[in-house]
Structure 1
Amino acid sequence: MKVSDYVARFLLQNGCTHVFGYQGGAVTHLIDSFYRCPGLRFVGCCHEQGASFAAEGWARVNNSLDVAIATSGPGATNLITGIGSAYFDSIPCLYLTGQVNTYEYKDSLRVRQLGFQETDIVSIVKPIVKYAARVTCAQDIRYELEKAAAIALLGRHGPVLLDLPMNIQRAEIDEEQLTGYNIPKPAKRTVETDTILHLLGNSRRPVLLAGGGVRLAGAAEVFNRVAKRLSAPVICSLMGRDAVDNTLPGFCGMLGAYGLRSANLAAANCDLLLCLGSRLDTRQTGTLPGSFTREAKLIRVDIDANELDHKIKPDELSIQADVKDFLVQLEQRLDSITFNYSDWMKTVQGWQARYPSYAKPEFSDPNYIICELSKLLQPSDIICLDVGQNQMWGAQSLTLARGQRLLTCGGMGAMGFSLPCAIGAAFAAPESNVIALMGDGGAQMNSQELQLLVREKLPVKVIVLNNRSLGMIRHFQEMYFDARYCATVKDYSPPDFCALANAYGLESTRITDMENLYKSRAMLTAKRPALLELVLPQETYVFPKLSVNRPIEEQEPPLPREEFLNAMIIPPYTAN
């Protein structure tokens, strides 16, 4: 059997149905084998970065391994942003790169390059993968594939990369003679829940925080059952946004620098914060770690011991466990304790009612647009957010029904993510409509993938929130750089997005008011691709917003002092 045929069959046998990539001389054997393998679909993207994000989108929807492939040299390096995104957000992806023949590789020679497009991609990506290897012997192919796939999915998920020289791809092997990889069995952990139950039983103001690890662990259902049983307020990180049933009475939304006031006030005033699968970075805690949950007991549950070693509070309780295992064991014992947080819930619900995500119910307020857009979506829709102001508006204001998903690029924060991610999601869930929400800046970064929407007739709706500027950075320039709008307003311009869509053969419409947004429902629900451009004022902002060296409850614009003091249950923060 040819090695490339073996690779194709391995992928199919391990649940991979789509491989996203771009053709090139160093991967022709592999892609030809994928093309000829029944049940395995090669999807030709228009750029390798698009392919890497598409594979990530597929993997996020299915919570299983997917594959992107690129040729050697520039093809391999074009994957790097997507690889980093998968690493920081714990997404299991296998990246396959072509490489020059082993006899053309420089190895220890002190030259820059021997073969054409020869690039040591393995060394380049090692800091942002769980495993990377160049296969130099055809007989190792089974071992390396099994090892890479196992590592991607064991423990905290993440990307892996195999670099396959051309002569290895075309080599003939006897699969009966191949040696496999002994996949280690993860140790079963018994979680000590007595302390947790005691703390919950004695708490008067607990808050549950859902991080991205809840979704990654497949724990969304049990998390929502536990939250409902406790009747306690729930907040989330950006990556945990779609793990929570948004209809829970105590769901306050996302916390942090761009979090909702109700979520930040709940976190600030709680006496117990149970944090599940979130690393609690400074975009959640603010830049004053001493102010975060300063009068609360912090409990952190995470599968990654390294994250737990990075303590937020000296006295926090750390539990290394799979979040689903933890929640299942906790749920089994909840009936042994009586909980009553009704007064606390009334307080939190008062904040929810007083501080909605939008300032005014008008088309000029992007948060209001997103709130109303939520009402036009269908129960199984998948929404993919880009990066920038659009990401924060979506995270603040989308109301997600059960069954809907929200995918976004968290740790890497890569503009241009949403369109190719939506492509991968559309292949992963062909019964769903997929929404790719982006700003005008991100829309220009991978716009070439519009061609794939048309070619494959994917029911992806591209929504461009066009304020004709890079709004997030423009706001920073106003705050810190005397409104010198270098490369955000000046030396920057977007195209006519409807004309661009038409050039690709996409249906499009330009929306300038709420009436036309409501009329777009038929376009949003149709089983065909389309582009909707929403024309916003150039000066748009994301509020509330946390400035540097402020506790998370003191966001901008500041509340009137008396109102703020009335909202605080604990004393306001004062720096030592």
Structure 2
Amino acid sequence: MIDYLAKYGVRHIFGYAGGSVTHLLDSIYKNRDMEFVSVYHEQAAAFAAEGYARIKNDIGVALATSGPGATNLITGIGSAFFDSVPCLYITGQVNTYEYKGDLSVRQIGFQETDIVSIVAPITKYAARVNEAKSIQYELQKAIAIANSPRKGPVLLDIPMDIQRADIDPGSLSAYEEEKKEEHGDGEWLNEVITTLNHSRRPVILAGGGVRTAGAAELLSEFTRKTAIPVVCSLMGLDVGHDDNFYGLIGAYGNRYANYALANSDLILALGSRLDTRQTGTDVSTFAREAKLIRIDIDENELQRRIKNDELAFKMDVADFLSSVNKETDRISLTDLSPWHAILKGYQKKYPSYVKDDRTDPNNIMKKISEATKEGDIICLDVGQNQMWAAQSLDLKEGQRLLLSGGMGAMGFSLPVAIGAYYARPDRNIVAIAGDGGFQMNIQELQLIKRNKLPIKIIIMNNNCLGMIRHFQEMYFEGRYGGTIIGYEAPDFCAIAQGYGIESMEIEKDGDLGKIEKALNMEQALLLCIHLPQTTVVYPKLAVGRPIEDQEPLLAREEFISNMLIAPLEEK
């Protein structure tokens, strides 16, 4: 197994030692081309494998023992499933002769757990290997499925007696991968080009599928040739960084990006699910005067129609862009400069930060952006910190932004940064977290210290669970159970010192210069930025409102002046 993965190109396996994976651990130890990255919790291994896979755009591997080790992977497996990341999770299992089988007992073997059944809904493929002779077939099948459209996680459960079985590698059966579906440049392309040519205010909505398809450069080529403005979903944020880019859309999106979508007459959605965080809870209010073209590799997503007259094509985003890039001479758009001027006017009128001080978290994200370099990899946790970063980080050429989209898992940023480091040790890696999420995988500071990883960690510390605290203020009359009452953050700098990691604090406005100093350190560093406990994420979309009408609500006269289409009547 380990030789096969090494020949495939895997160089790091993330995991935690356990009794039912000792044979695999020993094989990793003996393989000169493979390194076992030993984490301190299996959830961190799962997230690290995801970070590795997202930067490589290929398989990331995590290893865990049976029972609690396997179940500790589940949150990370779900994250990879929802965000279409190709990961291989390998779990140890009790000997085949210890299975409970069809008996109505709960367990026979120690730590026996049917992990295959548990993870079946959140994997593309999950199987227990019951015959040693099928191991090559199962490995090849699992990797092929993980990397086939729509990408996602797979799991192989390996009993201990199968792990120690003697085999003849040359006699093992192989898996034959299905051929990729081909799309001719036929009627669909004519239909897309005709629809584009009839538009006056087109917008491209770039989703996570652009990255998954390896199509970021193809998208840049298309926008250079056509000058069509680009907005992004949360998962698509790191595909845009030029003058055609107009920010994050959706419930916590930039106000100017939502105005771009709302006032458009055509949306070309590339690899985006268009869930209710993007469209608003009342889908009928979404981009009411726009035609919609959807390109997605997952036919199931396209069956959930957003508009009755939408054009939906089941295609790989890279295949789509490759085809249209060859035909841009047939795209005769009207002069888009007036449309760009309107969008830049929205940007100028509604910047994401307001005050140039420590009390405005969006301003802090702007400062972080200014201190990063081209090619840096920035890893976000979940909560207010994620939304501030998504709204206000000004990504540079070659930078990547890794975040947990569909699962929205707190504790994500630190282990995913570890995985990203092992995929690209030549890049600067920055992990940004809130005080709540950081505590969920804080133990991985020991790995960073032990392995001398030069990861920079920034904690946005408002000493509460800020996103939910804000909900309690809005909907529960400020009853702060579990967010302020019953919650506390520790002295993170003292903890960093305990792990042997240098630290800094920002407690007043004059300290903001420490951000650049921290990010330029050669070794690992933890920077704790103290914020007011009353922080909020604005703009924010309330239930039932269209995406262009975010809170805090604008004066109606100002709001109407921004609308190129007819505003909805107030209910």
TM range (shorter): over 0.9
**RMSD over aligned Cα, in angstroms?**
1.0
2:340 matched to 1:354?
no
Unaligned residue ranges in structure 1 (runs of 5+): 1-6
Task: Verify the 8 A CA contact 2:368 2:515 in the aligned structure 1.
Answer: no
> What does 1:111-190 correspond to in 2, within 5 Å?
111-190=105-184
Q: CA offsets, 1:457-501, max 9 Å, x none?
A: 111111000000000000000011010000101110000000000
Alpha-carbon distance between aligned partners in 2 of 1:527 and 1:233, rounded to the nearest angstrom: 38
Alpha-carbon distance between aligned partners in 2 of 1:573 and 1:21, rounded to the nearest angstrom: 53
Alpha-carbon distance between aligned partners in 1 of 2:147 and 2:420, rounded to the nearest angstrom: 19
Three-state SS of the structure 1 residue aligned to 2:397 is coil
2:434 matched to 1:400?
no
2:260 matched to 1:260?
no
2:203 matched to 1:200?
no
Following superposition, the deviation at residue 359 of structure 1 comes to 2.1
Aligned position for 2:521:
526
Task: Verify the 8 A CA contact 2:453 2:523 in the aligned structure 1.
Answer: yes
Task: Verify the 8 A CA contact 1:433 1:527 in the aligned structure 2.
Answer: no
Quick one: which of 486, 491, 499 aligns to 1:504? 499
Q: CA offsets, 1:237-260, max 9 Å, x none?
A: 00000011x2x2232111000000
Three-state SS of the structure 1 residue aligned to 2:458 is strand
Which residue type is aligned with residue 240 of structure 1? Answer: G
Task: Verify the 8 A CA contact 1:285 1:552 in the aligned structure 2.
Answer: yes
Task: Verify the 8 A CA contact 1:433 1:525 in the aligned structure 2.
Answer: no
Q: CA offsets, 1:510-547, max 9 Å, x none?
A: 11234423234233122311100000000000000000
Which residue type is aligned with residue 218 of structure 2? Answer: V
Among the aligned pairs, what percent are the same residue? 58
Which residue type is aligned with residue 79 of structure 1? Answer: L
> What does 1:435-446 correspond to in 2, within 5 Å?
435-446=430-441
> What does 1:205-216 correspond to in 2, within 5 Å?
205-216=201-212
Unaligned residue ranges in structure 2 (runs of 5+): none
Aligned position for 1:493:
488
Alpha-carbon distance between aligned partners in 2 of 1:200 and 1:437, rounded to the nearest angstrom: 39
> What does 1:374-385 correspond to in 2, within 5 Å?
374-385=369-380
Task: Verify the 8 A CA contact 2:367 2:515 in the aligned structure 1.
Answer: no
Three-state SS of the structure 2 residue aligned to 1:559 is coil
2:103 matched to 1:104?
no
> What does 1:473-488 correspond to in 2, within 5 Å?
473-488=468-483
Q: CA offsets, 1:100-121, max 9 Å, x none?
A: 0000011111110000000000
Quick one: which of 447, 455, 470 aligns to 1:452? 447
Aligned position for 1:240:
236
Alpha-carbon distance between aligned partners in 2 of 1:378 and 1:204, rounded to the nearest angstrom: 36
Three-state SS of the structure 1 residue aligned to 2:486 is coil
Quick one: which of 310, 317, 325 aligns to 2:319? 325
Q: CA offsets, 1:295-347, max 9 Å, x none?
A: 11000000111110111111110011110110011011112233221111111
Aligned position for 1:225:
221
> What does 1:276-287 correspond to in 2, within 5 Å?
276-287=270-281
Shift >3 Å, 4+ stretches: none
Following superposition, the deviation at residue 197 of structure 1 comes to 1.3
Aligned position for 2:33:
39
Aligned position for 1:423:
418
Alpha-carbon distance between aligned partners in 1 of 2:518 and 2:130, rounded to the nearest angstrom: 51
Quick one: which of 308, 311, 324 aligns to 1:314? 308
Task: Verify the 8 A CA contact 2:2 2:27 in the aligned structure 1.
Answer: yes
> What does 1:40-119 correspond to in 2, within 5 Å?
40-119=34-113
Alpha-carbon distance between aligned partners in 1 of 2:527 and 2:518, rounded to the nearest angstrom: 9
Q: CA offsets, 1:147-191, max 9 Å, x none?
A: 101000011100000000000001000112211111111122124
Following superposition, the deviation at residue 15 of structure 1 comes to 1.5
Aligned position for 1:464:
459
Alpha-carbon distance between aligned partners in 2 of 1:280 and 1:337, rounded to the nearest angstrom: 26
Following superposition, the deviation at residue 575 of structure 1 comes to 7.8
Q: Which moved more, 1:520-529 or 1:432-441?
A: 520-529
Which residue type is aligned with residue 198 of structure 1? Answer: T
Alpha-carbon distance between aligned partners in 2 of 1:552 and 1:207, rounded to the nearest angstrom: 15
